[in-house]
Amino acid sequence: MSALPDPHLSAERAARRLDSRVLRVTESVGEFIEWWGFKSIHGRIWTVLALHHEPMSQVEIARTLGVSRALVSSSIRELVGFRLVSATHDGRNAPWEAVIDVWPTISDVLRSREWMMVESARVALEGAIEEAEIAADLGEEVAWDIDRMRALLRLTEAAQSLLKILVALRAPRAAEGMTDWVKRASLIFRGLRRSER
């Protein structure tokens, strides 16, 4: 006669499997965040806090992620600076929770970093076009294709227009509002494509 499986062991096994899956999610988010130029640990900590059913102490976060408390402490300070986590109260050992509305942080990054990179390319292209036009007006042979420079400049300006739209958009606070937000964004992008023709 075969023994019935112990329900406590099955529940523990299921909990370990779920924990393992969630940790894979945190690693994936960490890799994505790192690709954006931030630290992987920022994404991992934010994800653990966002997915956990209640706020967590720094000790719990460190234990869950298998990292040092010092790393969690310094990363939490940085995440507070990015407005991505907040303490539940003012106490020294207050638990932490994720700020789910991340759009203000994303739009700040787009505005301060991506916008400046595109702006730098735009200014450089304008300077190159101006120099090429002066050389052509003086009858000098120009080794660079001015029309392609102008096309690249238009692309750069279109990228800036897209960034302006993204920064101005306000992501929905609730999941049910996501469909309306995606529809509005799609209409804007369709309008952009038509205006480029």
Examine residue 1 and state whether it is found in any structural domain, yes or no. Answer: no
Examine residue 2 and state whether it is found in any structural domain, yes or no. Answer: no
Q: Does 92 score more than 90 pLDDT? A: no
Q: Does 1 score more than 60 pLDDT? A: no
- Domain co-membership, 14 together with 45: yes
**Final residue before a domain boundary, out of 43, 71, 98:** 98
Structural domain harbouring 175:
103-196
Whose tokens are 């702006």? That residue is 119
Q: Which of 82, 34, 88 is nearest to 56 (CA)?
A: 88
Do 5 and 34 touch, CB atoms closer than 8 A?
no
| Own/partner pairs, 84-91, CB within 8 angstroms, 24+ separation | 84/42, 84/46, 85/45, 85/46, 85/49, 88/55
Q: What is the pLDDT of residues 161-172, one digit of tens each?
A: 888 887 777 655
Q: What is the pLDDT of residues 94-147, one digit of tens each?
A: 899 999 888 888 888 888 888 888 999 999 999 999 999 999 999 999 899 999
Alpha helix (H) ranges present in the chain? 7-35, 40-51, 58-65, 69-81, 103-109, 115-137, 146-168, 178-196
Q: Which of 149, 157, 106, 109 is nearest to 129 (CA)?
A: 149
Instruction: Indicate the pTM of the whole model.
Output: 0.64
Examine residue 14 and state whether it is found in any structural domain, yes or no. Answer: yes
Q: Does 182 score more than 50 pLDDT? A: yes
- Domain co-membership, 111 together with 158: yes
**Final residue before a domain boundary, out of 73, 98, 123:** 98
- Domain co-membership, 118 together with 163: yes
Examine residue 25 and state whether it is found in any structural domain, yes or no. Answer: yes
Per-residue pLDDT at 66: 94
pLDDT band at 195 (very low <50, low <70, confident <90, very high): low
